Amino acid sequence: MDLLNTLVEKGLRRELPTRDEALAVLATSDDELLDVVAAAGKVRRQWFGRRVKLNYLVNLKSGLCPEDCSYCSQRLGSKAEILKYTWLKPDEAKKAAAAGVAGGAKRVCLVASGRGPTDRDVDRVSQTIEAIKEQHEDVEVCACLGLLSEGQADRLRSAGADAYNHNLNTSEGTYGDITTTHTYADRVDTVQQAQAAGLSACSGLIAGMGETDADLVDVVFSLRELDPDSVPVNFLIPMEGTPLAKEWHLTPQRCLRILAMVRFVCPDVEVRLAGGREVHLRSMQPLALHLVNSIFLGDYLTSEGQSGRTDLDMIADAGFEVEGATTKTLPEHRAPEAGGCGSHEGGCAPCGGEAAPEPSEVLAARTDLVAVRRRGAGTDLAPNA
């Protein structure tokens, strides 16, 4: 396909596709799917070889969030029967992190529910970061604490944090449809605060919330412009007890097209296959490794993932290798000493394009694939890593 040849050439040059080209990837047929994966795989291998970075989530504070994000089981008014607990002590968090590191994780992601941290919360998390770094000097620590206030990013950086995660989740135009207690601009501001403090920015999206192809392209183009180092791609886990519990729009084929589109738009960025991969990609997960260069190991914040051992076997069986602790994830031109990310040749401004078709009809719910987390952080049971 001329489209795929063009996208590969642009990806190898770190050149932004047009909006129409990105939409065309999402519109490809199932007969063309393997060609799409193969093309995006060339771009992935150019910048990341066959390495797969492992990340591990530690939920420091679960549930009882005052925000109303429709997709979230921890939201205000959620009836999801998830684990609910207040802040883990630094030693408890360190123990949970150690399980992920022992399973091969290179980055530990410390997450807490809530609108954003108080200064006391930042102190708590700083103590946890220091405790983890004392035990695992080389591990990357990413904090995800919600909206940041002035100076908090600097304090986290001083405590040893390497990165900060705050996802855009969906397009600016539809953001008000999923959340009313804060704005899209609030999220952008937090990512920019993290970047200004010298933290590696991690910001991505959630697919499967009823958005159109145009919405997906909008948010990915916005992420390209925002320029995070890591772009996690989540697929909605429709948890019972949340407003989006009936949103089952995704197929494995659509998930792969979305990942390919993200890779073409963000060719030299760490694209992470995040929540929902087991639920929606299912047996097609190994194909996704040709598109992404990073995954989460084991469980998520409030739901279970497949076993860490299964993840490692999948990586090996697909012909990939786990990225070592001392290996640089990002290409040399994205290193800070190179003067920036280097991914903006030709600029980042989104190009115009036609509106995409609406999502397909609702599929049969696979509630059997959604299991609430009952182990690991906040429990007496061993974690899944």
* Alpha-carbon distances of 141 from 144, 157, 198, 371, rounded to whole Å: 10, 10, 14, 27
Compute the distance between CA of residue 182 and CA of residue 272 in angstroms, rounded to an integer: 25
**Phi and psi angles of residue 362, each rounded to the nearest 5 degrees, phi first:** -65, 135
CA distance 212 to 218: 10
* CA–CA distance, 137 with 130 (Å, rounded to integer): 10
Which residue among 14, 19, 44, 72 is the active-site one?
72
* Beta-bridge mates of residue 372: 303
The rounded distance, in Å, linking the Cα atoms of 275 and 72 is 12
The catalytic position among 19, 44, 75, 142 is: 142
Helical segments of the chain, H only: 2-12, 19-26, 33-48, 90-102, 119-135, 152-159, 175-178, 184-196, 213-226, 252-265, 277-280, 285-288, 308-317
Amino acid at 223: L
266 carries an active-site annotation? no
- 109 catalytic per annotation: yes
| Set 257, 272, 277, 373: catalytic member | 272
Annotated binding-site residue? 266: no
How many other C-beta atoms are found inside a 10 Å radius of the C-beta of residue 373?
Answer: 25
The CA distance from 141 to 161, in Å, is 5
Q: Rounded CA gap, 247 and 209, in Å?
A: 6
Distance of CA 112 to the CA centre of its chain: 16
341 as an active site residue: the answer is: no
109 labeled binding residue: yes
Which residue is catalytic, options 44, 107, 109, 124? 109
CB burial of residue 168 (10 Å; 0-12, 13-18, 19+): buried
* Residue 69 labeled ligand binder: yes
Which contacts of 311-316 are long-range, i.e. CB under 8 A and separated by 24 or more positions?
Answer: 311/54, 312/103, 312/104, 314/285, 314/286, 314/289, 315/52, 315/289
Is 348 part of the annotated catalytic residue set?
no
- Choosing from 144, 202, 255, 341, which is the catalytic residue? 202
At 171, which amino acid appears? Answer: S
Specify which residues 207 forms β-bridges with: 235
**Does 351 participate in catalysis according to the annotation?**
no
Nearest Cα residue to 315 out of 352, 350, 337, 285: 285
Q: Rounded to whole angstroms, how far apart are CA atoms 367 and 62?
A: 22
Q: Indicate the annotated binding residues for [2Fe-2S] cluster.
A: 109, 142, 202, 272
Positions at the binding site for [4Fe-4S] cluster: 65, 69, 72
Among all residues, which ones are annotated catalytic? 65, 69, 72, 109, 142, 202, 272
Annotated binding site: 65, 69, 72, 109, 142, 202, 272
